[in-house]
Amino acid sequence: MPSDCRRGYIYFDSLCRNLKSYLQVDSIISSAKSRDSLHQFTRFLYSMMNYDDDLFEEYRLASYQMDTNYRTGPGAIYLPCMDSAQGIFGYYDRRTYLVDVPVIIQIHAVDEMDNFSKSNILPRERIKCVSAKVVDRIKGKHIRYEEPNKTSPPDSFIHITYYPDDRRGGNRDLYGNHAIEPSKDYIVFLENSFNGYDGHSSYYKYHPYCCFSSEGGIFPVDENGNVLIPSNYFGYGTKVPLAKFKADLKADIQSIVSH
């Protein structure tokens, strides 16, 4: 475990054991009004999620119930701290996105399957289930790989789900039917979503992190090797050579982790 990741868990553990109320959490967070004071927190948080986001989610969601010495849950610290960071860096700032997103990878889409959500309460929604080969990892040291068939390496494929009719992008459908197409490459920003607990193990699924850029976390790589970002969200341009796009992302990440 990297030192910043370990220090982040120690930092969270100390706060959870010593802060007696949510008012104390708010008081500490409200005092962090400078980039310098928040940079250390974001550096630790980036390292914790980058190392193993499944582990971080388990800690954030379940540790308060498991450790009776905790007076405050990690989630009660994490969420307002991210809100405070967004207030300083800017909610839609790319650095906020890079800290908050658990996984950034380049994929080659192999297959897709149509499905429907299962709910006895909410209307059923269409789901696209994509199987993709992981070409390169930009963020996410430990990723949940899936084996698409018996002849494929167990550490090279990933499953991604998205909702074609998702309307969080406004009145239009955010993704549509062809957001990820087989035989094409993409840079994807993925969120790690809790998908259930069976009494022994927790289960998660990856889906595009749609809350920042208007592209919803899916950026196609065209036939000429350019990453397409129509909104120019990152400020790198709307059509950026793949190697340059990765280099620019890594430079922004370095500005987060080296402070």
Largest CA distance in the chain: 56
Domain of residue 144, CATH code: 2.40.50.120
pLDDT digits (tens, 9 = 90+) for 169-216: 454 566 777 789 999 999 999 988 776 666 666 667 888 988 778 888
Cα angle 55, 15, 95 (rounded to 5 degrees) comes to 60
pLDDT tens across 143-163, in order?
Answer: 887 765 555 555 588 889 888
Structural domain boundaries, residue 16: 3-91
Residues 181 and 58 occupy one common structural domain: no
Q: Where are the beta strands (DSSP E) in 163-246?
A: 185-197, 202-208, 218-221, 226-228, 239-241
Tell me how far the alpha carbon of residue 91 is from its chain's centroid. 15
Q: Do 132 and 197 have their domain in common? A: yes
> Residue 143: how many CB atoms within 10 A of its CB?
20
Residue at 97 is within a domain:
no
pLDDT tens digits, 214-245: 888 999 999 999 999 999 999 999 999 999 99
| 113 in any annotated domain | yes
**217 and 136 together in one domain:** yes
Question: What pLDDT does 190 receive?
Answer: 93
Average pLDDT over residues 43-51: 90
Residues 183, 209: one domain? yes
In a shared domain, residues 107 and 157: yes
The verdict on 75 and 185 lying in the same domain is no
Query: What's the number of domains the chain is made of?
Result: 2
